[in-house]
Chain A
Amino acid sequence: MKKNRNVGIIGVGQSAYSSHREEVNQPEMIHEAVAEALAHAGMTIDDIGCIVHGNMELFEMVHQPDLWHSLGMGSVGKETLRVTTGGTTGATICCTADYLVASGMHDVVLAVGFEKLQEGHTTGGITNMADPLWARQLQTGALTGMTAAAVIEEFGEERAKKASMKYRIIMDKHAMKNKKAHRRLGLEFDQADDLMVNSPALVGELRMIHMCSQSDGACAVIFASEEKARQFRKNPAWIKDHITVHREESFGCFGDEPFVLSHRYAAEKLFARNGIKNPRKEIDMFEMYDPSSWWGLDWLREFLLFNGDEHLKMVENDEITIDGDFPINPSGGVTASNPIGATALVRVAEAALQIMGEAGEHQVPKTVNQALASGFGGTLWTVLFLLTREAP
């Protein structure tokens, strides 16, 4: 693969995330993010050539919502593109924006992800993705206890539950530093034993406290060609590479055993083609799409290509905290804020802010030269981004 030209992220904007943004409608909420991204990049809407939009229509039951959202995005008279891929949407529209700029079709592209989950029924909406004949009766939205059961089976109940609760409390401590985060609970580590027993059970050992939120919110990110990026900003976050990996709709229908998670497959390929031999050492921080603390814990092993209990040790040894050796989700991650169509875009946006050194109170206290951001969606789909401080 030889990229036509470099693309950098030069502006990031986010609305405040909350369970109920009832004081704004969809275009107004999007406008908050767009206005902030433009201000952050030091440009106006006139500098934008194309606007990419993404979310899931059935959550709010609006058909082709980019039409209405032209009001809040400032897209009137501009080129637009609407691309959606379920939970990965936010990261997918980063791929889209990257292609549009790298190809030379546009110098500056704005990507907008949004969701206003209070306007629909999130678990009902997700259940509705399943095949109406074969799978819908079995689907429980995004709620599954399988990963919790698997981690408990492999590492024992006590160690697994403790690690997953510790992961969750670390995420909440990060969210406490991020004023825009939706759930900022103020959890302390000594609450872990209580929560892992008394938090309401959803499915098996997946409890309410482990699970991501249902949020209203929008995120906007501005992508620019190298020439434009340098013109507007000293410290763009560069897109080094990205990869998209889907799995089949009907698990196992192609009969490939052992079951390889799309996260591991994506990471292996992405690292190999970028010469990364030891991701744990060579990558400085990671914004992961972690829909629950069980998944976050388990997927850490997949993304970093571990095979043993290294991922549990990373949590147990405080390596994933904001001031640890391998910070994960200094923003608080998805268990704190989850406006689904924006969620994966927020991962890329937050990783870019960390590279720029502009994440504010939740900036990691070290130079971030290389950052990873992941999106998750569909039937175990992955979009994985590699961002760098130096232009590729």
Chain B
Amino acid sequence: MARRVGICAVAQTTYERDKWHQRFQGMALDVVEALRQQVDIKFSRHRPEVQGIDMTISVSDDVFDARTISNNAMTDVLGAHFGCEEKVAQEGIQALYYGLAAIQSGHNDMVLVLGHCKESQAASRNMVTHVAFDPFFTRPVGLDFCAAAGLQAQAYAAKSGITDQQLAKIVARSRKHAAQNPFTPGLEELTAEAVMASDMLADPIRSLHAWPVSDGAVGMVLAAEEIAVKICDKPIWITGVGNSIDHFFLGDRDLASNRALKEAAARTYKRAGITDPKTAFDVIEISDQYAYQLPMWMEGLGIVDEGKAGQWIDGNGPDTLHVNMSGGMLAGNPLILGGLVRAAEAALQLRGEAGNNQVENAKTALAHGVMGPAGQFHSVITLERN
């Protein structure tokens, strides 16, 4: 049995529309400094007797940063001079999957995780996701992740009967929680009526159904159990991880099937020893890039019965199960960081540091990330505190 791994520190910047005043290195440095306030991070590699960071995992994206080897600019900021820095170029929650493996392998005892992204740097984030499509068949059609999500939302609405009213309710609820979240400033509260009056983006997705364009950075310190208990009072243990990827071409998939998410969840629950996901979690953080995804992913996770998510929304299910108390991704995180921020928010809940959105006595949590057209790739992680 491999050793336990704990999240010992969590920090993030605010997520805002355009941090024109800060380069991504500056955002990252703010997070590193905040992490250092929580745990004593040392970078001294010349003195092996000093317990310090063995490995840094950054998260960024060459296309969003418009820089080849976008992590090249991270070495200085993350204290990786003469040390090890590796970049997860996937949904950010995968940095925790990787960090867990890196520590459980025995090679590393302490890992610093730091993700950054400035969606504002691209004229449109759709230009970035457009080039995720292959240049021969699907790129010439003009697809991007937003258009692909529209196709999936259509398929899911047809299968589940989810309505425009229910989607509007999800957005209004997200904004209510976002207003209480210090990391998502500047988002006004919205009524369901206002959401339903917003422009159509990719039918049935309305402009207010989409996560706001945002810039920000998030970081954590992971450590093996024997160190975690020494350096912090309330380590949050990673109990399960799992991910899966579906077919690339949309036509090769059943877009409403949740295939990859079901596989990712099953792997996570198996590793965590969870038999009943419906009752296993006190807090759930889902990457809802678009409003339709909150009910759809909840079904995929096996927490809400398939086809029942509409009723679940009507019955205030998200409040009962404490889903996205942070506001969720609908309150704005950069695309590649959504899942990592979900894990950060879940960890804050378990530490009892979620402020006005705090769920009383939360002990277990699930966090979820998604990447690719119409949810091609999903990654799930479960957390608990002592």
Interface set of A (CB-CB < 8 Å, partner B)? 1-4, 25, 54, 56-59, 61-68, 70-71, 75-86, 92, 95-96, 98-105, 125-126, 128-129, 131-132, 243-250, 253-254, 262, 265, 377-379
Contacts and interface: CB of A to CB of B under 8 A. Distances in A.
A262 B87 contact: no
A61 B107 CA distance: 34
27 contacts: A1-B107, A58-B62, A58-B63, A58-B66, A58-B67, A64-B61, A64-B89, A68-B132, A70-B248, A79-B242, A84-B69, A84-B71, A84-B87, A96-B98, A99-B104, A102-B104, A102-B106, A103-B104, A105-B2, A128-B66, A129-B67, A244-B83, A245-B83, A246-B83, A247-B75, A249-B76, A379-B72
A98 B106 CA distance: 11
B100 A249 contact: no
A265 B83 CA distance: 10
B237 interface: no
A100 B101 contact: yes
A3 B107 contact: yes
B376 interface: yes
A79 B102 CA distance: 16
B295 interface: no
Nearest to A51: B245
B344 interface: no
Contacts of A3: 105-107
Given A70-B247, A100-B101, A246-B83, A83 B89 contact: yes
Nearest to B131: A63
B88 A82 contact: yes
B193 interface: no
A59 B89 contact: no
Given A1-B107, A245-B83, A76 B102 contact: no
B263 interface: yes
Interface of B: 1-2, 55, 61-63, 66-69, 71-73, 75-76, 80-90, 94, 97-98, 100-107, 128-136, 241-249, 259-260, 263, 267, 371-373, 376-377
Given A81-B98, A82-B88, A96-B101, 6 more contacts: A1-B106, A4-B105, A64-B90, A85-B86, A249-B73, A250-B76
Contacts, number: 203
Given A67-B245, A79-B244, A58 B68 contact: yes
Contacts of B373: 67
Closest 4 CB pairs of A and B: A103-B104, A102-B105, A244-B84, A86-B69
Contacts of B259: 77
Contacts of B103: 103
A58 B62 CA distance: 7
Contacts of B132: 62-65, 67-68
A104 B104 contact: yes
A95 B106 contact: no
Contacts of B245: 66-67, 70, 75-78, 80
Contacts of A103: 2, 100-106
B84 A246 contact: yes
Contact of B68 (A54, A125, A246): A125
B107 to A, nearest CB: 6
Nearest to A250: B76
Nearest to A72: B248
A84 to B, nearest CB: 5
B90 to A, nearest CB: 4
Contacts of B131: 61-63
A105 B61 contact: no
A63 B129 contact: yes
Contacts of B104: 4, 99, 102-105
A106 to B, nearest CB: 8
Given A64-B90, A249-B76, A265 B247 contact: no
B377 A245 contact: no
Contact of B85 (A63, A80, A85, A99): A85
A191 B336 CA distance: 52
A79 B260 CA distance: 10
Contact of A25 (B136, B263, B371, B376): B136
Given A61-B131, A64-B132, A248-B75, A262 B82 contact: yes
Nearest to A104: B2
A249 B75 contact: yes
Contact of A99 (B82, B88, B101, B241): B101
Contacts of B267: 79
Contacts of A248: 75-76, 81
B163 to A, nearest CB: 31
Count chain B CB atoms within 10 A of each CB in A66, A67, A104, A253 and give the residue with the most.
A67
Contact of A4 (B69, B106, B130): B106
Contacts of A96: 86, 98, 101
B346 to A, nearest CB: 21
A379 B136 contact: no
B172 to A, nearest CB: 31
A56 B131 CA distance: 14
Nearest to A98: B105
Given A82-B88, A84-B89, A244-B86, A63 B128 contact: yes
B110 to A, nearest CB: 13
Contact of A85 (B87, B107, B249, B376): B87
A378 to B, nearest CB: 5
Contacts of B372: 64, 67
A150 B67 CA distance: 30
